[in-house]
């Protein structure tokens, strides 16, 4: 049993208890689920190593939950959970995806209308049955239908961050086989699209049979869809398909290009090939017309193919038909920011508010990760659920940072902790901390955490007003969207980008895989408008710091260079760029 699977059971137990009106226990289960989800070591391994005692050492886990986890690991099942499920047999994980539906309403819908899943829900809502229920009304029904539409439109795809680690793990397992000469990811995963439908792995091998046999027998495979010598496919437990294709060495580049896409990009490449008297397909670039079996001109590598078509190599993240081909033909492609270019992280939360690790622990982890600076940006008091900082506490925190910086200096460490905040933007665009405090901070980030449904005009003005504050450096997660879970709030992004340009405000690319906010198209607009950005992890614990790479991927999809991203710069240069 994987950590994800254990976490899912614990989350659902919490929700079932919530249904019954049990207090406090749901939060206990939810907390443990969160912890296990972001744990780096597998709980099953921890159990194997140290038994029940070792599981109890996980924070938030006591005797009772430890025993439940033990039962899950040993038997793959949990009687307590099965019993709860029997009482209210509903498809919790999909129903809770509908905005506004929580455990209590799901229970009511089940008891009164026998609604068990999304299909039942849609039928009842369309028949007008929900509006007539006590505690519901026409507005609830309308919202449910809207929520259903959103769930459906994101259906069948997976957030990149939720599947990339699994795909990389499978790739690495196959890579270890001696029969595998070369292996690479293709498809939208290679382009680092924010959501992906399935994953393709391309392999060069002289002996494909043992490779394929091994692949379809992986423990990750919930179902084998195909098992051949050139193509095999499995379905993972989360429902995503992974394909492996074995291709000849001389066609590897052509196949990689073909399977990486995007489709539109490839169609354009083929048209260019035809104009030059070639044919391009997944086996290579050939002289002459299709089917004529002409001489192979290129195919071994993608570089070779692009070169033969008289254009420079195009990074996978750019292959979306947004003008990259024209630039490649003129040899004018931007040099994208690289995955190792970040020198700092300008959004980090600590245990001062809703983070799991102390300020010092986050500092040490950042040093270990090779960063040169971080900004501590805990929440402010308006966000009561996160125990947001008020004036008094943030002044205390500044003192702690001064102390730590002093110690770093004595140690001779070349690392800086910057004083910062993630300050709430209030309804009228004013801020949750007074200007005299903000003026003392190195990095002031602001964000919207409330009133997501203001009118477009009000929301835009609210954000613009905050950006005009001379103390405000960065607008964090500018659109507020959560991938596949929540639409962005209604605000005019073109106007916000314009205001950023006028005021010198930095816009954030939040790397958290469920946010990726800004998304690629807005990043591209910022690049074009000369608006600078920062790529942050928004980490609430140490493992989470690694998610900044998803932000880099998104930045590359938006054509950002090192020059566009201020935390790819040395700390002095970065600070001197912020508002004075």
Q: CA-CA distance, 500 to 218, in Å (whole number)?
A: 49
Q: CA-CA distance, 116 to 124, in Å (whole number)?
A: 11
Tell the residue number behind the tokens 């043992």, with chain if given. Answer: 210
Q: Nearer Cβ to DNA, position 106 or 565?
A: 106
Q: CA-CA distance, 230 to 242, in Å (whole number)?
A: 14
Q: Nearer Cβ to DNA, position 384 or 410?
A: 384
Q: CA-CA distance, 407 to 414, in Å (whole number)?
A: 11
Shortest CB 577 distance to DNA, Å? 29
What does the H/E/C string look like for 398-422?
HHHHHHHHHHHHHHCCCCEEEEEEE
Shortest CB 261 distance to DNA, Å? 32
Shortest CB 393 distance to DNA, Å? 14
Q: CA-CA distance, 96 to 565, in Å (whole number)?
A: 37
Q: Nearer Cβ to DNA, position 15 or 345?
A: 15
Q: Nearer Cβ to DNA, position 114 or 293?
A: 114
Instruction: Point out which residues pair with 158 in neighbouring strands.
Output: 196
Q: CA-CA distance, 46 to 61, in Å (whole number)?
A: 13
Cα-based distances in Å from 397 to 152, 206, 350, 421, 430: 44, 61, 11, 11, 23
Shortest CB 19 distance to DNA, Å? 8
CA–CA–CA angle 382, 388, 389 (5° rounding): 110
Shortest CB 145 distance to DNA, Å? 12
Q: Nearer Cβ to DNA, position 27 or 126?
A: 27
Cα-based distances in Å from 505 to 180, 318, 450, 501, 517: 49, 26, 21, 7, 16
Select from 475, 571, 580 the least CA-distant residue to 531.
475
Shortest CB 30 distance to DNA, Å? 8
Shortest CB 347 distance to DNA, Å? 14
Q: Nearer Cβ to DNA, position 432 or 564?
A: 432
Q: Nearer Cβ to DNA, position 65 or 170?
A: 65
Paired sense of beta strands 284-287 and 158-159, if any: unpaired
Q: Nearer Cβ to DNA, position 24 or 82?
A: 24
Cα-based distances in Å from 12 to 8, 82, 102: 6, 11, 12
What lies within 8 Å, CB to CB, of 152 at 6+ separation is: none
Shortest CB 495 distance to DNA, Å? 22
Written as six digits, the tokens of 127 are 């028949």
Buried b (16+ CB within 10 A) or exposed e, 29-66: bbbbbbbbeebeeebbebbeeeeeebbeebeebeeebb
Shortest CB 364 distance to DNA, Å? 21
List contacts with DNA (CB under 7 A): 18, 21, 23-25, 27-29, 32, 59-66, 96, 99-106, 131, 134-141, 143, 354, 383-387, 427, 449-451, 453, 482, 485-486
Q: Nearer Cβ to DNA, position 30 or 442?
A: 30
Shortest CB 506 distance to DNA, Å? 21
Q: CA-CA distance, 392 to 389, in Å (whole number)?
A: 8
Report yes or no: 41 and 57 within 8 Å, Cβ to Cβ.
no
Report yes or no: 507 and 551 within 8 Å, Cβ to Cβ.
no
Q: Nearer Cβ to DNA, position 84 or 216?
A: 84
Q: Nearer Cβ to DNA, position 110 or 215?
A: 110
Written as six digits, the tokens of 537 are 């992890």
Q: Nearer Cβ to DNA, position 235 or 351?
A: 351
Q: Nearer Cβ to DNA, position 16 or 306?
A: 16
Shortest CB 530 distance to DNA, Å? 31
Shortest CB 104 distance to DNA, Å? 3
- Hey, which bits of 470-561 come out as E strands? 474-475, 506-510, 533-536
Report yes or no: 220 and 167 within 8 Å, Cβ to Cβ.
no
Q: CA-CA distance, 337 to 389, in Å (whole number)?
A: 34
CB neighbours of residue 392 within 10 Å: 9
Report yes or no: 3 and 37 within 8 Å, Cβ to Cβ.
yes
Shortest CB 15 distance to DNA, Å? 9
Q: Nearer Cβ to DNA, position 108 or 321?
A: 108
- Hey, which bits of 477-549 come out as E strands? 506-510, 533-536
Secondary-structure percent of the chain, ordered helix, strand, coil, rounded to 5: 50, 15, 35
């Amino acid at each position: 049993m994987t950590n994800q699977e254990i976490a899912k059971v614990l989350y659902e137990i919490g929700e079932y208890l919530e249904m019954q009106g049990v207090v406090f226990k749901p939060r206990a289960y939810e907390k443990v689920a969160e912890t296990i989800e972001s744990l780096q070591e597998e709980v099953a391994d921890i159990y194997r190593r140290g038994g029940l005692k070792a599981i109890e050492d996980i924070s938030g886990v006591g005797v009772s939950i430890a025993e439940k986890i033990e039962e899950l690991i040993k038997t793959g099942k949990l009687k307590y959970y099965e019993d709860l499920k029997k009482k209210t047999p509903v498809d919790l994980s999909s129903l809770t995806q509908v905005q506004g539906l929580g455990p209590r309403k799901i229970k009511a819908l089940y008891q009164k209308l026998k609604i068990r899943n999304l299909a039942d829900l849609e039928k009842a809502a369309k028949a007008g049955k929900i509006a007539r229920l006590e505690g519901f009304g026409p507005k609830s029904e309308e919202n449910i239908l809207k929520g259903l539409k959103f769930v459906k439109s994101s259906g069948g795809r997976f957030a990149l961050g939720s599947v990339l680690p699994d795909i990389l793990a499978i790739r690495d397992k196959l890579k270890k086989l001696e029969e595998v000469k070369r292996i690479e990811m293709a498809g939208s995963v290679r382009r680092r699209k924010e959501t992906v439908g399935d994953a393709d792995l391309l392999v060069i091998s002289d002996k494909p049979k043992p490779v394929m046999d091994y692949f379809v027998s992986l423990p990750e495979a919930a179902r084998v869809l195909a098992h051949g010598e050139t193509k095999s496919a499995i379905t993972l437990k989360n429902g995503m398909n992974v394909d492996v294709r074995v291709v000849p060495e001389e066609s590897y580049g052509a196949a990689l290009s073909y399977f990486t896409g995007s489709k539109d990009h490839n169609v354009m490449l083929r048209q260019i090939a035809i104009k030059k008297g070639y044919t391009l397909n997944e086996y290579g670039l050939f002289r002459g017309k299709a089917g004529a079996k002409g001489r192979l001109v290129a195919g071994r590598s993608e570089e070779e193919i692009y070169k033969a078509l008289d254009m420079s190599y195009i990074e996978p993240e750019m292959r979306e038909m947004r003008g990259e081909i024209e630039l490649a033909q003129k040899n004018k492609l931007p040099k994208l920011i690289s995955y190792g270019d970040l020198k700092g992280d300008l959004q980090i939360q600590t245990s001062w508010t809703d983070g799991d690790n102390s300020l010092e622990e986050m500092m040490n982890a950042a040093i270990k990760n090779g960063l040169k600076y971080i900004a501590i940006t805990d929440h402010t008091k308006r966000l009561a659920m996160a125990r947001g900082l008020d004036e008094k506490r943030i002044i205390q925190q500044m003192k702690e940072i001064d102390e730590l910086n002093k110690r770093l200096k004595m140690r001779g460490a070349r690392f800086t902790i910057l004083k910062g905040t993630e300050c709430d933007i209030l309804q009228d665009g004013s801020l949750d901390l007074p200007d005299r405090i903000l003026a003392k901070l190195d990095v002031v980030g602001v964000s919207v955490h409330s009133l997501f449904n203001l009118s477009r005009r009000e929301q835009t003005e609210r954000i613009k007003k905050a950006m005009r504050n001379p103390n405000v450096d960065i607008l964090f997660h500018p659109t507020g969207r959560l991938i596949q879970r929540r639409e962005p709030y209604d605000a005019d992004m073109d106007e916000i980008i314009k205001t950023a340009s006028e005021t010198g405000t930095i816009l954030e690319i939040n790397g958290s895989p469920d946010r990726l906010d800004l998304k690629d198209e807005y990043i591209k607009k910022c690049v074009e408008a000369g608006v600078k950005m920062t790529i942050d992890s928004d980490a609430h614990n140490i493992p989470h710091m690694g998610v900044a790479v998803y932000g880099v991927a998104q930045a590359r999809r938006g054509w950002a260079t090192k020059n566009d991203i201020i935390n790819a710069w040395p700390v002095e240069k970065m600070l001197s760029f912020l508002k004075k």
